[in-house]
Structure 1
């Protein structure tokens, strides 16, 4: 019976008879050291005798020992698990794209058998371990996308089998060392996007004769490209872009017989291409744009089997070689901003699958080649600011792949081909500043994707077809300075996405179409200098986004609707019509007078309007009235002076100001004394009121201004978890007094008495971002200005989090605490509730009360009162969403949601167009969407998924740079640091 009992026991409960081996126990301890929010390591349990079936674990088929650990993209967090080095046969280790933090320990060298080590895209900090070369079998080392700093260790010259070294996207700030030329086994050397000290390209790199990829983009390189690079016969990818290299392109570069891609853009290279470029028979992609290269584009270069040629923003002149039309693989040609002349080759596009062509800002002439879309894949046709003439080729009207067409500022003429109006995928059709004639074809109804129709300053005539109302995606319709006739189509009211409608200086007639209240996103309406008639509809007053309205030079009659006072107009003009009645009270101001001239029946208390009323006054009382007003004025002036003198003495007595008792503590070299600002505390000088006090503007004797913050008496104190207390005054003085950064508001000094405390800051003429963005002046903040504000504020917060020792958490980041100087430069302000993170390893601090403002408070802060830098990052993400959407962080329209949740829900259910601020120019849409993505990333509900402030700055700066699709391709795949930019590399006007 005993064998039967044991058999049943084994079948019913096998875990009782199995025990996990030693490698499994090591991995169990690794699991306990890591944070696993998504339960990826849930299969790492004790139900097996070996870990070979666990997630991410691979074992040798014979020995059953672990030889591979791959936990990439699993969102695990924690320090590097050195226990993995106890796995004696481990040869492959990948923890990429996670949240591995702290420094990389020197004990990693005990992983003796590692051949592949990938820790890229994590949060590792500190110096690179000098012991890494002790891993004698290491062939692939990828530490890209971390926060390593300092020098490359000299011990790296001892690698003997290393084939791939990738350190891109870190913070290495030493010089680019020459000893890397000793690692003769290297096939890939990837050091891009590190802030190295200004360095020359080491001549010794020419010794790496096995090298296939050399990627040194954005490494602060200076000097000339060394001739020694010509010895790299196996090199397929040479990327030296975005540096400060100068001099000419060396002749030796023509000896790179295997090179497929050469990236030299955004340097200061000069001279001409060296002779012998025809030797590069494998070259497919060449980008030498944004340099100072000159001369003619060599014919031998265009004779290569190129796929992509980017030479824009140089000084090339002369004609484009005819041989460029014979390149069978050419799909990208960007030559804008040079001095090229002559005609484009007639066969351009006939033999190659052209997808992108941009020859803008040159001196090209002649006709547009008709074969550009011969292969049917042409996506973008950009030819602005040239001297092209003739008609648009009829064959282009069959190019259904086109998405962007920009032909402005040429000498093109004749009728636009009928099919060209209705291309189904075109989103931008820009024909401004030419001599086109004819009318808009009814075929435009087929242009279902059209969002921008820009045809101003031509000779278009005839009526605007009703079919234009079918373009449901149309955002910008600009048809001014033409000869359009007839009435406005009734179907215009169907354009619910329209943001700008500009048809001024035509010959239009008739009345407004009924139903214009559907233009909810309209921000600019310009119908000036036409023959429109009828009354101005009251419905215009319901277009709450409208800020530009020009109806001048028409034949409108009746009154100006009072409903227009509901709008926040920055500019409006009703002059030279036939309007009558009284001007709406809010518009009856002298500064608006010119907007009403030329309407004989229009009346208001403004000079030059309704003169008949002035003549009707009783002339016999003129002198008497003048005398009475003069006498009353004198009495008023004397009374005001007397009252001010008494009031000033009363206020001084009430405040008990004794200037001799004030104690002044300065934090910068001052050019003024306390006696210059202690008399500013009048209500007329108040520029802001906050939770901690009032802020006054004080003008100093030298004419400059400062902001004086007077704290409320008995300001609230906040106790931290340790029982120490500091009021807002002490916190702000302690924080700002030692900070020196261009994006942190400058605290000049503080001034105290027994009962009063003052803080004196630099004066910000444009006030706070919140006040400006959400007021009638919000239109002053165009997208470039908002982007600059976001970058400035991010750099200020990054300084607090990463460069202050110890780090500082602001705890009340919001748009009202971001101040703007006269040039709209941003400064982070109001540090009354800021906290210092005590020491490394103590990234959180418990607060007895929650600091911050509704809509900006991170979810975890509201529930746990635990504060760290991630709370600031969430709040800054809300600020980014404000900049992109123009919305308040809390709005009744959101219901129970705040701005962050509203954006998530709306983008998910309706699309991104429903959250973007309609006041922003649609030509920046791609850039705005990228910044929106950064805001969404910062407001992730899980703190661990939010990027660091330093990463946020880097991402925002990358949005402002113009990347090229091919510059990021390394060894056949896109770089993880590359964000594809589909904009037109600077040819946007």
Structure 2
């Protein structure tokens, strides 16, 4: 009977629907979800109807017990304080919040996570001190707190970790003593405390206790004094980086005992003395040795070069003597950089025979002899940089078969003979520079095969013959500099096919014939120098169509005829047509004394320039009576113009006064005001106009208390306002509802980097918006005017940071978020101290509450050159559209150029910067008005601008991240090579030939 009852009871339960509920660990994680800001919906798949969280994103469980053992929230864009509740997960061994916005302090109660082995809280926004209690986690093996804002001392308790193998505190604000406490943690394999403003400290001898240490990064840590001898006790060391400090003295001999060392970097210190002479042969595993940019003296030890090195970098020191022959025997050598020293003698002629060489840079030394013939023996050689030495002889014929060569710089040597024919046509070479030598012969027709060549510089040699037609096959050539040679014959017609050519310099040759009339096809031409040749014929009028041309020199030729009037359309910085056979009247633009030197030596030319033409005095006499007759006519005209002007002014004054019926105005204030609407209305006089646009006029109103405000008067029929500033790139009309909603939003904004809206006055047909007055006007007007010199680097950096903080406030702190939709330099206003404030984000266009997603717009709003690609194509807009526009503003600050300009051709500023940096280097985009001592910081700001203008919105940082990156640029002692932990890419690469090329 009992058995039957049990059977039916079980059958009944099985027929009921299952009742599931989440387990306790799932409840803990649901609490994490509720406490963190999740704009990217990382937690969207965390369903509380699941019985277990093991299938949730970022969660891993033990397959045997079902307990949560790992939480990986890397790159999830989460914000908020650290969720301490995760420490209730008793089996949690792996926890990563890397690259998020976890803020506040790291709580000391994190030590309750007693099972943790891996803790990564890097790249967040933590502040305050490091928690003392971390060392009480007995199982902790990996600790990464890099890229935060921790400050103060490293706790003494950090010397008591029991199993810690990896610790990274790089890139914080730790300003106490250098943390030698880690020398007690003998289990350490990686110690990274670089990029912190520690107090000046020595690297103590107790560092030798870390016998298991493999990676030691102490760069930019304010280290002083000498390196301790005990470093020789680090038998397992693979990488040692003490760059960017103030170390002094000699490299200790004990370093030669590091038999497992792979790489030693002493980059950017102030080491003095010689490299040690003995002990190197014990370092049988050493592969990379980098002691560049120091003050090392003496010679390169032969024992060092006997090691099987892969990379030897000793550039920018004061080394003397010869390069040891034994360097050629290394079977692994791929990089040899010894430029900017005082080395002499010959380069080992067997260099490259036994090595997979990739790069050799021996520039700026006193080296002599021949170029080694077998540099490309292993077929991997790419860069040969030997400029500014005393090499002699010919270019080895073997290099003409090196198809992997990419960059060649042999300028300022004593090389001679014919260049091997195949050398001209190397298929991968992008840069070929061999100026200031004694090369002779002709340019080989094989140059047609150099399809990748972008810069050809062969000036100041003895080349002769004609320029071959095959030069026209170089469709990627940007610069052809062949001045001061012995070329003859006419210019080849094929040169007109080089539509990317920007610089053509053939000065001081024996070229003849006419200048091709089809030269207008060279639309990118910026520099044309054909001076000191034997050209004849007339000057082609088509030269006047070259809108990018700013240097024109056709002097000392046999040109005849008149100076074409079409040349007046050019904007030239240098212009020289002297010593030809030109005649006739000069075009009016050039008939001025300031251009006299441009036309000397042309007896037939006449113009209003003293001494240029013998008939000038007679012409002046003939004109004298005509001038007298016209004086009376001009006087009458002036009188009539004055009458018309007076009538126009009176009419405008009457219209303004008629429109201001004080009894019909209503005032809406957003701040406590010290003035009334009547005081504002009394200032709306035409004499006070400081700007005008499609939507109305802007007045400067000086109040009775002496303060000034800016008043924007908007009007339009049917109460519609023209969309300001968007005539060419989109626009429309703003209706009353949108205007009222926008004013309500602006009235609530309170931020130091957003222009303050004092109040709004309105009638039926007119609206006045009263803003705070900004004495220095807009960034765009100032940056692109003769007063741009006022904007030095510190001011430009401050403007970038201020405006970024204003946009970050709109995106991240306003609820709902505000998308500006028209970020540009003209909408960034400057106060009396050049503080920047974002303006015009709501006056003449409506910005809806877009929130976290995107919104489709009916028209394109924005200004040419600033509009994000996806906005222009899809009409979909979000915060990343503003990020793109702000990136263009950064590029304006760095380059000093406008977002669109005829010199870019069909490109805008973003594409021009990318192309120019890639082909010519960063020096060609940085504004020449900026002091070169700030080049490092300028390059970093340029990188941020390029990151913000990424074509894909997902690759652009948020404005909150942009603010953080800008603050890092403003920090002290920023390294030139970036962070060494792999989480921040270098800002630029530096060598003898491309100082400061953007990475």
> What is the TM-score when the length of structure 1 is the normalising length?
0.75
- Of residues 875-884 and 111-120 in structure 1, the stretch that sits farther from structure 2 once superposed is 875-884
1:876/1:938 contact within 8 Å kept: no
Which shows bigger deviation, 284-293 or 55-64?
55-64
8 A Cα contact 1:387 1:411, kept in partner:
yes
Change (3 A) 1:404 1:728: closer
Change (3 A) 1:146 1:685: same
Q: For residue 991 of structure 2, what is the aligned residue in structure 1? A: 984
Task: Pick from 212, 215, 221 the counterpart of residue 213 of structure 1.
Answer: 215
Superposed CA deviations along residues 850-888 of structure 1, whole A, max 9, x for unmatched, are xx9957799999xxxxxx999997664221243578764
Give the equivalent residue in structure 1 for 2:229.
Answer: 227
Cα deviation, residue 255, structure 1: 2.6
Map of 2:426 onto structure 1: 423
The match for 1:24 is 26
| Gap change, CA 1:25 and 1:7, over 3 Å in 2 | farther
Q: Which moved more, 1:205-214 or 1:498-507?
A: 205-214
| Structure 1 residues 372-387: aligned runs within 5 Å | 372-387=375-390
Distance apart, 1:770 and its partner CA = 3.4
Choose the corresponding residue for 2:177, options 161, 175, 178.
175
**1:877 alignment counterpart:** 887
**Among candidates 940, 946, 969, match of residue 933 of structure 1:** 946
Tell me how far 1:955 sits from its aligned partner: 5.9
Match of 2:961 among 935, 947, 952: 947
Larger deviation: 276-285 or 933-942? 933-942
Query: Shift in Å at residue 219 of structure 1?
Result: 1.6
Per the TM alignment, residue 959 of structure 1 is displaced from its structure 2 partner at its CA by 13
What per-residue deviation string (whole Å, max 9, x for no partner) do you get for residues 429-484 of structure 1? 00011111111111111111111101111111111111111111111111111111
* Corresponding residue of 1:593: 596
Alignment correspondent of 1:395: 398
How far is the alpha carbon of 1:922 from its aligned partner?
Answer: 5.7
2:551 to 529, 548, 555: 548
Residue 372 of structure 2 corresponds to residue 369 of structure 1: yes
Q: Is contact 2:948-2:957 (8 Å) kept?
A: no
> SS at the partner of 2:248?
strand
* Residue of structure 2 aligned with 1:304, choices 286, 289, 307: 307
CA distance in 2, matches of 1:133, 1:168: 18
The Cα shift of 1:969 comes to 6.6
Counterparts of 1:224-623 in structure 2, within 5 Å, are 224-275=226-277, 276-615=279-618
Count of residue pairs the alignment pairs up: 861
Question: Structure 2 stretches of 5 or more lacking a match?
Answer: 636-685, 715-739, 759-769, 843-850, 852-860, 872-877, 928-937
Q: Structure 1 residues 483 and 90 mapped into 2: Cα distance closer, same or farther (>3 Å)?
A: same
Q: 1:443 to 1:201 in 2, by over 3 A?
A: same
Paired with 1:356 and 1:819, the residues of 2 have a C-alpha distance of 48
Distance (whole Å) between structure 2 residues aligned to residue 397 and residue 921 of structure 1? 30
* 1:50 is aligned to 2:48: no
TM-aligned CA deviation for residue 146 of structure 1: 2.6
What's the offset of the Cα at 1:24? 1.6
The equivalent residue for 1:105 is 107
Q: Deviations over 1:247-274 (max 9, x none)?
A: 2212222232221110001100000012
Deviates more, 1:513-522 or 1:411-420: 513-522
The CA distance in 2 between the partners of 1:249 and 1:695, in whole Å, is: 69
Inter-partner Cα distance in structure 2 for 1:789 and 1:454:
38
- The whole-number CA distance in structure 1 between the counterparts of 2:970 and 2:443 is 41
Is the 8 Å Cα contact of residues 870 and 948 (structure 1) preserved in structure 2? no
Q: Which residue of 2 aligns with 1:190?
A: 192
Unaligned ranges ≥5, structure 1: 636-682, 697-707, 735-754, 762-766, 821-825, 836-843, 845-851, 862-867
For 1:712 and 1:265, locate their aligned partners in 2 and report how far apart those are by CA, in whole Å: 53
Q: Are the counterparts in 2 of residues 874 and 939 from structure 1 also a CA contact under 8 Å?
A: no
Contact 1:731–1:834, Cα closer than 8 Å, also in 2: no
Partner residue, 1:118: 120
Aligned residue for 1:575, secondary structure, equals coil
Alpha-carbon distance between aligned partners in 2 of 1:100 and 1:519, rounded to the nearest angstrom? 55
Any idea what the Cα deviations from partners look like across 1:872-916, whole Å, max 9, x if unmatched? 97664221243578764589999xx9979xx5xx79xxx943999
1:6 CA drift (Å): 9.6
For 1:932 and 1:730, the matched residues in 2 are separated by 21
CA distance in 2, matches of 1:9, 1:534: 107
CA distance in 1, matches of 2:88, 2:265: 43
Instruction: Render the CA deviation track for 1:63-117: whole Å, top value 9, x for unaligned.
Output: 1111112232344444333222121100011222334344323332221110101
Give per-residue Cα distances to partners, 1:706-747, cap 9 Å, x unaligned: xx996557999998869689999997999xxxxxxxxxxxxx
Deviation at 1:935, TM superposition (A): 3.6
CA distance in 1, matches of 2:124, 2:149: 8
Distance 1:514 1:193 in 2: 59
SS at 2:400 equivalent: helix
Task: Report how far residue 505 of structure 1 moved.
Answer: 1.0
Give the aligned partner of residue 135 of structure 2.
133
Is the 8 Å Cα contact of residues 709 and 760 (structure 1) preserved in structure 2? no
CA–CA distance in 1 between the matches of 2:711 and 2:501?
52
Q: 1:472 to 1:60 in 2, by over 3 A?
A: same
Contact 2:753–2:806 (8 Å) recurs in 1: no
Instruction: Give the 3 Å change call, closer, same or farther, for CA 361–917 of structure 1 in structure 2.
Output: closer
Distance 1:725 1:952, change over 3 A: closer
Relative distance call for 1:10 and 1:318 in structure 2 (3 A) is farther
Tell me the distance in 1 between the aligned counterparts of 2:804 and 2:754: 23
Which of 199, 202, 205 is the aligned partner of 1:200? Answer: 202
Task: Tell me how far apart the structure 2 counterparts of residues 229 and 723 of structure 1 sit (CA, whole Å).
Answer: 63
Partner residue, 1:770: 780
- The 2-side partners of 1:948 and 1:935 are apart by 8
Q: Within 2, Cα distance between the matches of 1:722 and 1:439?
A: 70
**Residues 40/10 of structure 1: CA separation in 2 closer, same or farther (3 Å cut):** farther
In the TM superposition, residue 378 of structure 1 has moved relative to its aligned partner by 0.8
Aligned to 1:27, the other structure's residue is in SS state helix
Which residue number corresponds to residue 858 of structure 2? none
| Other-structure match for 2:160 | 158
Residues in 1 aligned to 2:267 and 2:7: alpha-carbon distance in whole angstroms: 78
Whole-Å Cα distance in 1 between the matches of residues 359 and 427 of structure 2?
18
The Cα RMSD (Å) is 5.3
Is contact 1:769-1:819 (8 Å) kept?
Answer: yes
Residue 727 of structure 2: aligned partner: none
Q: Distance in 2 between matches of 1:5 and 1:834?
A: 71
1:168 match: secondary structure = coil
Contact 2:747 2:757 in 1 (8 A): no
Residues 874/978 of structure 1: CA separation in 2 closer, same or farther (3 Å cut): closer
